[in-house]
Amino acid sequence: MTVTDFLSLAPLIIIAIAPVVIMIVISVTRNYKVVYGFSILSFLTAFASIFFIVPAIPHSIEPLFVIDIYSLFFLGIIIFSALLVTLLSYDYIKQLDGVREEYYIILFTSTLGASLLAVANHFILFFLGIETLSISLYILIAFQRSKDSSIEAGIKYLILASVSSAFLLFGMALIYTALGTMQFNGIVSALGESGQLSPLVISGFAMIMVGIGFKLALVPFHMWTPDVYQGAPAPVTAYIATVSKGAVMAVLIRFFFNIRGFDNRSLLIVISGIAILSMFIGNLLAIRQKNIKRLLAYSSIANMGYLIIILLTGTNKGIQASVFYLISYIITTIGAFGVITLLSTCKYEAEKIEDYKGLFWKRPWVAIVFTLSLLSLAGIPLTAGFVAKFYLIFEGMKAGLMVLIISMIINSVIGLYYYLRVITAMFSPANETELPAISLTGNITLCLITISILILGVYPGWLIDIIMKFVNL
Amino acid sequence: MLTVPIEIQILFAGILFLLGLIGLLVRRNMIYMLMSIEIMFNSAGLVFVIAANHWKQPDGQVMFIFILAVTAVEVAIGLALLLQVYHHFKTLDADSVNKLKDYN
């Protein structure tokens, strides 16, 4: 590897070094504030380093990495959302007894796995990235080990995620057997030579879809989502819902477009079916939930259903719409889980809808942020969610995906019902429950999220311009 | 030297994978479930080795070493979590570890 190779991997290297430094610091002395400050600083440095390597791209390190503007964009999204989750975690993790500093180490390793997915151009990196991400997540989910629910969620995720990884791996192995290459861009040329898809390749793609579908929580591989969302500590739930999904989406879009999956009719039919099922099942099951974390879990299933529509358009414009949707989804979801995190303590998770009764009269500012996040998830105008949905529907219509777009619109209406249920609870008369105080970092993060939701909702043009100019595959 | 056709080799690995999957679905003890997952991973690794031999490339073998490393980590964490499960639930039966449910 040359110096340029190392320089172009700067964000990944920073994220890889940071946990080692934290480990050394912990072995000398345990100081929560120092570790926290260092984590924020490292994420900021990694984020800033992305802008410095822009002149060096597109650059590919054969055969594993490809660093183009697309991967840098997703690296930015991943690192920024990890930064937001870190900012939110301060109080929640501080209250835990026993080990606390290790949380940030594992947050870094999982972000490293997610970042690997954004630059992956090879099955080896695809597999390593997904495994680094999910193995770190097992620990994060079970981090509150004094709680039954945390441990249960951890072991459930461990078993189901490893099975899905085994499927993914077997699928990769079959494709490698049939085509003799593991590089994404090599696959399409190898496919082109043989013309007709052999049964090995088809079953390989099917098994890869199972693995990816599980990580994105698409129906019928969604069973783990509500349990894990409920059992995991609130900041970790925010992390799973945003960073892990965003990273898998990054690799899915690159893989799908590299193998030109949209040219294959049967693959398109399968993906349409998965998308429609995810939307309907996610939204319908969310209606009766009394637990907000479960409600948001089902809503995330539906949201991923909306998002994979874009794979079917097979155009650059489609990718741009999905990137915009992903950004707005991530900001909004971190906002919603951020409020849950800030209102929870390690003793008591504020996860029932009753816990939010009269929130507006007790903590008006937090209630407004939560309302805004939920409205954005529902896609109400003047929020980021509306513009994102509009953009997605617009691109879908241009590609002629009428059935998918109509079911997306029906589902937006169903979604509105359960989001509004939470909002009405917040504005109903207050009851007598104590709420924890909210720290400065928490308030700053909520402020950041509110501003971004509103700016993207009212004046989205600049971001769309940036995306259109840079995100091309 | 007599060589086995590649189809038979892949079929063999596929049967191993299915055995692992069946074991996972049938067994309720979580240690056995982890073992079944190991079998699934290793059968995938076997396909990589077969393919590498077929294409005369080192890539598949490299992948197999990565798989070994990853599964080792996975089992280490899995066993640590199982210890915690036993502390909390006093059982390793997958059906009894089921407190997280809908509508409560």
Chain B residues near residue A207 by CB distance under 8 angstroms? none
The per-residue pLDDT for A100 is 87
The larger pLDDT score, comparing residue A99 to residue A473, is at A99
pLDDT band with cut points at 50, 70 and 90 for residue A230: very high
Reply yes or no on whether the pLDDT at B104 is more than 60: no
Tokens read off for A133: 């991400």
CB-based burial of residue A66 (10 Å sphere; 0-12 exposed, 13-18 middle, 19+ buried)? buried
Nearest to A433 by CA among A354, A364, A369, A339: A354
Tell me what pLDDT residue A12 has.
94
The C-alpha of A316 sits at a distance from chain B's nearest C-alpha, in angstroms, of 32
Shortest distance between the Cα of B1 and any Cα of chain A, in A, equals 22
Interface confidence (ipTM) of the complex: 0.96
Q: Which residues of A touch B85 (CB under 8 A)?
A: 151-152, 155
Count the alpha carbons within 13 Å of A462 in the hemisphere toward its beta carbon. Answer: 6
- Structural element, H or E, at residue A411: helix A402-427
| Token couple for A279 | 């939307």
In the predicted model, what is the mean pLDDT of residues A392-399? 90
3-state DSSP assignment of residue B19? helix
In the DSSP assignment, the letter for residue A243 is I
**B chain contacts of residue A153, beta-carbon cutoff 8 Å:** 100
pLDDT computed for residue B18 by the predictor: 96
Tokens of A138: 């097992």
Residue A29's identity, in one-letter code, is T
pLDDT at residue A327, as a whole number: 94
Q: How far is A227 from chain B (nearest CA, A)?
A: 6
pLDDT of residue A190: 82
Percentage, residues of chain B above pLDDT 70: 96
CB A338 within 8 A of CB A366: no
Would the CB atoms of B63 and A151 count as touching at under 8 Å? no
> pLDDT: is A237 or A69 the higher one?
A237
Q: Which residues in chain A are closer than 8 Å to B84, comparing Cβ atoms? A: 142, 145, 151, 154
Q: What is the pLDDT of residues B65-88, one digit of tens each?
A: 999 999 999 999 999 999 999 999
Touching B: A residues 101-140, CB under 8 Å:
123-124, 127-128, 131, 135, 138-139
What are the pLDDT digits (tens) for A109-142?
999 999 999 999 999 999 999 999 999 999 999 9
Task: Please give the residue of chain A at the shortest CA–CA distance from B70.
Answer: A131
Q: Please report the pLDDT score of residue A234 as a whole number.
A: 92
Q: Which of A36-45, A335-344, A369-378, A429-438 shows the lowest mean pLDDT across its residues?
A: A429-438
CATH number of B6-89: 1.10.287.3510
Closest residue, chain A, to B57 (C-alpha): A180
* Ramachandran category for residue A372: left, alpha or beta (phi over 0 → left; psi -120 to 50 → alpha): alpha
Residue A285 pLDDT greater than 60, yes or no: yes
pLDDT at res. A247:
95
Contact residues on chain A for B24, CB-CB shorter than 8 A: 159, 163
Three state DSSP letters for A335-368: HHHHHHHHHCCCCCCCCEHHHHCCHHHHCHHHHH
Length, in residues, of chain B: 104
The pLDDT value given to residue B103? 59
The band of B1, judged by pLDDT with boundaries at 50, 70 and 90, is low
Strands (E), A424-471: none
All residues of chain A having their beta carbon less than 8 Å from the beta carbon of residue B100 are 149, 152-153, 156, 226-227, 230-231
> In this predicted structure, what is the pLDDT of residue A62?
80
For residue A67, what is the enclosing H or E element?
Answer: strand A65-67
Convert the pLDDT of each residue in A171-214 to its tens digit.
Answer: 999 999 998 889 988 888 887 765 667 888 889 989 999 999 99
- Is the pLDDT at A266 greater than 90, yes or no? no
At A267, list the tokens. Answer: 């693959």
Per-residue pLDDT band for B4 (boundaries 50, 70, 90) equals confident
User: Is the Cβ of A161 closer than 8 Å to some Cβ of chain B?
Assistant: no
Per-residue pLDDT reduced to its tens digit, B9-38: 999 999 999 999 999 999 999 999 999 999
CB A86 within 8 A of CB A79: no
Domain map of chain B by residue range? 6-89
Sort out which chain B residues have CB atoms less than 8 A from A151's CB and list them: 81, 84-85, 88
Encode pLDDT of A414-428 as tens digits.
999 999 999 999 998
Percent of chain A with pLDDT over 90: 60
DSSP secondary structure string, A144-155? Answer: -TT-HHHHHHHH
User: What beta strand segments (E) does A228-382 contain?
Assistant: none
Domain ranges of chain A: 260-473
Q: What is the pLDDT of residues A293-315, one digit of tens each?
A: 999 999 999 999 999 988 888 88
Instruction: Tell me the pLDDT tens digit for each residue of A63-108.
Output: 888 888 889 999 999 999 999 999 999 888 888 877 888 999 999 9
Considering chain A, what is the average pLDDT of its residues? 90
The stretch A153-181 carries a mean pLDDT of: 93
Q: Using the beta-carbon criterion (under 8 Å), do B100 and A169 form an inter-chain contact? A: no
Q: Cβ of B100 and A200 within 8 Å?
A: no
Name the closest residue on chain B to residue A147, using Cα atoms: B88
Angle at A328 between CA A326 and CA A334, to 5 degrees: 95
Is pLDDT at A255 greater than 70 in this prediction?
yes
Q: pLDDT > 70: what percent of chain A?
A: 99
